[in-house]
Amino acid sequence: MMAESFNSYKELVDLSPLVELIRAEGTRVVYKRGEYLLHEGDVEQRISVILSGYCRFVTTRSDGSESVVGCSLPGDVAVGFADDIYRIPSRLSIIASSRLEVLQLPFCYAFARMAERDGHLKLKMESALSRTLFERHIDLYKLTPAERYHRFVASHPDLSRQIQIKELASFLQITPQHLYRIKRMP
């Protein structure tokens, strides 16, 4: 199986000018494991480029448990684009899953600079994110949990060695116990 990008939206929209802007003008910030870059319910103030470590995107279920909906890895942009573009309270939290080193810029400043370069950037970002989420949604119905796990490991070997079992199980929409059983299968 050919490796695919975990955040495949990056293949659908060119974010390199945004990453270059943040790398050129951003402030270096270090988060400890468990620290929040963004709390669910807050309006995003900063946009980050991951230098090292990784963070997870989570939402809170009605029972108060955490559900992992995505991750950002080194080189990725960490921001809740869907809500941030419209400046509404985030439906996600962004949490450092390991020691996390990032470069950050104020969201409104970075987005305004990018909109000057490309007036259709917002539409392109929404389209790319929508496509990525649609593919993940279809995979939940098309693939068994074991198939989703094996695809994840084959496509993202570095992340699969770092990610916590609980986080990966949540992302795959299975229990940690089910994931342990899958990992033991030949």
Report the alpha-carbon distance of residue 66 to residue 75 in Å, rounded: 25
The helix or strand, by DSSP H or E, that contains position 101, with its residue range, turns out to be strand 100-106
pTM for the full model? 0.80
- At 105 the pLDDT is 95
Reduced DSSP (H G I as helix, E B as strand, rest coil) percent helix, strand, coil of the chain, to 5: 45, 20, 30
Report the alpha-carbon distance of residue 6 to residue 148 in Å, rounded: 13
Please check whether residue 69 is in contact with residue 24, taking contact to mean a CB–CB distance below 8 angstroms: no
Please state the φ and ψ torsions of residue 90, each to the nearest 5 degrees. -70, 140
- Determine the average pLDDT of the residues in 19-42: 95
Q: Is the pLDDT of residue 2 over 50?
A: no
- Determine the average pLDDT of the residues in 29-45: 94
Per the rule left: phi > 0, alpha: psi between -120 and 50, beta: everything else, 31 is beta
Q: What is the mean pLDDT of the chain?
A: 85
Q: Is the pLDDT of residue 1 over 60?
A: no
Chain segment 129-159, per-residue pLDDT in tens? 777 778 878 888 899 999 999 988 888 788 8
Name the residue among 47, 46, 53 with its Cα closest to residue 19: 47
Please check whether residue 108 is in contact with residue 67, taking contact to mean a CB–CB distance below 8 angstroms: no
Q: Which of the four pLDDT bands, split at 50, 70 and 90, describes residue 103?
A: very high
Chain segment 172-181, per-residue pLDDT in tens? 989 999 999 9
> Averaging pLDDT over each range in 29-43, 71-85, 113-127, which range is the top one?
29-43
